[in-house]
């Protein structure tokens, strides 16, 4: 799954005229602060399973981080009824809702690369 995060960091702004008209840079994601979004109902002991990728930092302080992730989760099931339902619950590990506001850009996410499977249905 790809996780796309956008945020604004006022400390990462600059005037492009002062820096050769550079309007954006790419940095390793480990070099700046980024939201610590994790899968709460993960069965993987390694909560920080994101692959090390770059972030795009614009001179306005807008930051884009797109990282591929593999999630392993538990699903409650009842063998007598189908279909089974499995929900994924994401959130910040260290910040509550007064410190970080997570907003989804769509109700269903991007489905461009989704490959249907006869065993389960993504809704």
- Name the pLDDT band for 9 (thresholds 50, 70, 90): very high
Residue pLDDT, tens place only, 40-70? 777 666 655 567 889 999 999 999 998 877 7
Whole-angstrom distance, CA of residue 46 vs CA of residue 29: 18
Contact in structure between 59 and 14 (CB atoms under 8 Å): yes
Residue 75, φ and ψ in degrees, nearest 5: -135, 130
Tell me which residue range forms the domain holding 67. Answer: 2-92
In a domain, 7, yes or no: yes
Whole-angstrom distance, CA of residue 86 vs CA of residue 74: 8
Beta-ladder partners of 27? 55
Number of domains in the chain: 1
Q: Is the pTM of this model over 0.75?
A: no
CATH at 86: 2.70.170.10
In a domain, 43, yes or no: yes
More confident residue, 19 or 4: 19
In a domain, 56, yes or no: yes
In a domain, 123, yes or no: no
In a domain, 118, yes or no: no
In a domain, 85, yes or no: yes
In a domain, 106, yes or no: no
In a domain, 12, yes or no: yes
Whole-angstrom distance, CA of residue 89 vs CA of residue 104: 13
- What is the percent of the chain where pLDDT is above 70? 76
């Amino acid at each position: 799954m790809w996780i796309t995060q956008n945020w604004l960091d006022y400390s990462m702004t600059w005037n492009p005229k002062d820096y050769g008209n550079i309007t954006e840079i790419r940095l390793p994601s480990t070099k700046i602060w980024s939201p610590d979004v994790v899968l709460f109902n993960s069965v993987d002991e390694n909560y920080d399973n994101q692959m090390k990728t770059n972030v795009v930092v614009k001179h306005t302080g807008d930051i884009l981080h797109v990282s591929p992730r593999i999630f392993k989760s538990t699903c409650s099931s009842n063998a007598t009824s189908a279909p089974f339902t499995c929900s994924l619950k994401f959130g910040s590990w260290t910040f509550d809702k007064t410190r970080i506001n997570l907003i989804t850009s769509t109700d269903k996410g991007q489905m461009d690369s989704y490959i249907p499977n006869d065993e389960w249905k993504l809704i």
